[in-house]
Amino acid sequence: MKYRCLILDHDDTVVKSTPDIHYPSFVEALKILRPKMKPLSFEEFVKYCFKPGFSELCKDVLKFNKDEQECQYKIWKSYTKTKVPDFYAGFPELIKEYKQLGGIICVVSHSESEQIVRDYILNCKLTPDLIFGWELEEAQRKPNPYPLIEIMKKFQLDNNEILVVDDLKPGLDMARSCNIAFAGAGWSHVIPEIKNYMEINSDYYFSTVDLFRRFLFS
């Protein structure tokens, strides 16, 4: 294997979740919190999550106060508890093969650890070695380097033994902060602007899970 440790994003990298969970839950929250506002289109929502990021969308763009952030969180939580996203075809097999070969699987995501563990158990019959989810303090979430620093400490890894895999800019920025190789998960991209940025700025960019798998095990 090229890398001892994979650090995987969850949403739209491993599981198909934004169209069925994150976007509709956000639209529902906006109907309550900003009833006079024209709803964000799916494309607009994904672009904001790409840049400046979901937290910044809530706090800086929409100016949610603490009560409004809590309301949005509760609506999103109800969606994540009742809907289980599908893994992208081929990803459960990739993860199981990587683990069987002795690889370390970590997840750094803006979903919560509880749902990530559920999704992995249902689809892969295993749990990641370490998870850094949304339940952490904001300074400990990506794009901050905290998760990478902790993973390197725990597993005694050098930065050249790790590959970060993510579909969006916060994961890329996090990898760059620690000089760690980054692979763009292009199989979920539908917006040319995002696809082009990730393809240009990633160390590696894969349009399908199968191409990523071939690279990883070559």
pLDDT digits (tens, 9 = 90+) for 29-53: 999 999 999 989 999 999 999 888 8
Residues 115 and 67 in one domain: no
Residues 10 and 27 in one domain: no
Burial category of 65 from C-beta neighbours within 10 Å (exposed 0-12, middle 13-18, buried 19 and up) = exposed
pLDDT of residue 81: 87
User: What are the E-state strand segments in 30-108?
Assistant: 86-87, 104-108
Domain of residue 165, residue span? 5-16+86-217
User: Residue 182 maps to which CATH number?
Assistant: 3.40.50.1000
pLDDT of residue 183: 98
CA distances from 163 to 6, 148, 174, 195 (A): 5, 11, 12, 19
Residues 131 and 57 in one domain: no
Q: Are strands 104-108 and 86-87 parallel, antiparallel or unpaired?
A: unpaired
> CA-to-CA distance for 108 and 9, rounded, in angstroms?
5
> CA-to-CA distance for 206 and 42, rounded, in angstroms?
23
**Residue ranges in the chain whose pLDDT is less than 50:** none
Here the tokens at position 216 are 């990883």
- Domain end position, chosen among 65, 82, 99: 82
The answer for residues whose C-beta is within 8 angstroms of residue 118's C-beta and 6 or more apart is: 84
pLDDT of residue 82: 87
Torsion of the alpha carbons at 94, 125, 168 and 140, rounded to the nearest 10? -130
pLDDT of residue 1: 83
Domain count, the chain: 2
